[in-house]
């Protein structure tokens, strides 16, 4: 990002989104993240048993959440609690018991007393709990190629009330390239976690690899979590986490979870859903050739020397 202070970030935002976001340092956050949470999240008492799924938005968070919860807690047949209620969305007000003007940030009791606690977050590294590095809970970062992640997020902003309205794809892509979308700069998230990928408690996994070999991915995640699965359990989890089965399952599909999943904008006349397409390569329907070339150049510059690369189709 060329300009790094709050003031200059704010100036670069489209006028119509300014009242729907929080600008914290050089990071744009959605309006549901309250300024008074920031410090409390930073100082959260992390437990070594916690599990964190961390992503830039629309990178396969929900997919990973569904995988992890079954690996850890079993398949929980007959359990009708929605997937999103099993997880703490770290920065979302829905999981915060009480906050006051002095900055108290307290997780709701039910959530806090589970063990292991399961956290999902889209926060940029510098806003994450400080203790993540000393208490070393399991941290899973799911990465998705930036073009598909951007397209997916564009659609989600169009339909979800909790996110700002962009004038159209061109404006959205421009903000993406500047690192000014809610939840921050895609490159900042991905490069940070890529550089930490060899730490024992960090798993860096790509959406495209999950698509390519789901069974190998479930196995990789279970090994990372030190949970052994029978062949039958592995088969069942693979079956449960396919795109079609997640879509069909009301306890998993975020469409059926009003509070955290979909809080539709009125303009969602096409009834677009959270689990929209679930494919690699949809970006080709949105990027013009010029936009794609420009983005590739930006990507080349930002990722130079990192060794991080993605599959785009």
Which positions are annotated as active-site residues? Answer: 122
What does the alpha-carbon distance between residue 140 and residue 89 come to, in Å, rounded to a whole number? 14
Residues 123-152 that bind ligand PPS (CB under 6 A): 148, 152
253: contact with ligand PPS by CB under 6 A = no
196: contact with ligand PPS by CB under 6 A = no
275: contact with ligand PPS by CB under 6 A = yes
Q: Which residues on adjacent β-strands are paired with residue 106?
A: 98
What does the alpha-carbon distance between residue 305 and residue 245 come to, in Å, rounded to a whole number? 39
CB of 56 to ligand PPS, least distance (A): 8
255: contact with ligand PPS by CB under 6 A = no
Q: E strand or H helix at 173, and its extent?
A: helix 169-177
Stretch that binds ligand PPS, among 40-48, 128-136, 162-170, 238-246 (CB under 6 A): 238-246
277: contact with ligand PPS by CB under 6 A = yes
The total of other beta-carbon atoms located within 10 Å of residue 113's CB is 9
220: contact with ligand PPS by CB under 6 A = no
Nearer to ligand PPS, 37 or 141 (CB): 141
According to CB under 6 A, which one of 278, 281, 291, 311 is a site residue for ligand PPS? 278
Site string for ligand PPS, 56-95 (x = CB under 6 A): -xxxxxxx--------------------------------
CB of 275 to ligand PPS, least distance (A): 4
Residue 226, token pair as written in the block: 């030190």
According to CB under 6 A, which one of 177, 246, 299, 302 is a site residue for ligand PPS? 246
Q: How many residues bind ligand PPS (CB under 6 A)?
A: 20
CB of 141 to ligand PPS, least distance (A): 12
The total of other beta-carbon atoms located within 10 Å of residue 305's CB is 5
Residue 140, token pair as written in the block: 């899973």
What does the alpha-carbon distance between residue 85 and residue 8 come to, in Å, rounded to a whole number? 37
Long-range contacts of the stretch 219-227 (C-beta < 8 A, 24+): 221/64, 221/67, 221/68, 221/71, 221/140, 222/71, 224/138, 224/140, 225/51, 225/68, 225/71, 225/72, 225/138, 227/71, 227/72
Residues forming contacts to ligand PPS in the complex (CB under 6 A) are: 55, 57-63, 148, 152, 155, 241-243, 246, 275-278, 282
């Amino acid at each position: 990002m060329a300009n790094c202070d709050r003031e200059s970030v704010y100036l670069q935002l489209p006028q119509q989104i300014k009242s729907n976001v929080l600008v914290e340092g050089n990071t744009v956050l959605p309006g549901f993240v309250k300024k008074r949470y920031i410090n409390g999240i930073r100082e959260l008492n992390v437990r070594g048993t916690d599990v964190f799924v961390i992503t830039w938005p629309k990178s396969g968070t929900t997919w990973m959440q569904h995988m992890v919860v079954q690996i850890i807690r079993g398949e929980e047949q007959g359990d009708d609690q929605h997937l999103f209620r099993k997880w703490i969305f770290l920065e979302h007000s829905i999981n915060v018991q009480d906050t006051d003007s002095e900055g108290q940030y307290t997780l709701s009791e039910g959530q806090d007393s589970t063990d292991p606690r399961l956290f999902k977050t889209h926060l940029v590294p510098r806003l994450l709990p400080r203790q993540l590095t000393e208490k070393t809970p399991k941290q899973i970062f799911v990465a998705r190629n930036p073009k598909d992640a951007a397209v997916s997020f564009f659609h989600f902003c169009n339909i979800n009330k909790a996110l700002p309205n962009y004038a159209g794809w061109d404006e959205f892509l421009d903000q993406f390239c500047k690192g000014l979308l809610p939840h921050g700069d895609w490159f900042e998230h991905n490069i940070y976690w890529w550089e930490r990928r060899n730490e024992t408690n960090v798993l860096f996994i790509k959406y495209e690899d999950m698509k390519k070999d789901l069974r190998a991915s479930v196995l990789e995640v279970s090994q990372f979590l030190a949970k052994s699965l029978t062949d039958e359990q592995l088969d069942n989890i693979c079956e449960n986490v396919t795109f079609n089965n997640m879509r069909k399952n009301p306890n998993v599909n975020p469409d059926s979870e009003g509070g955290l999943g979909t809080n539709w904008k009125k303009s969602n006349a096409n009834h677009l859903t959270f689990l929209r397409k679930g494919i690699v390569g949809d970006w080709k329907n949105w990027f013009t050739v010029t936009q794609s070339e420009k983005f590739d150049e930006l990507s080349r510059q930002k990722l130079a020397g990192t060794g991080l690369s993605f599959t785009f189709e």
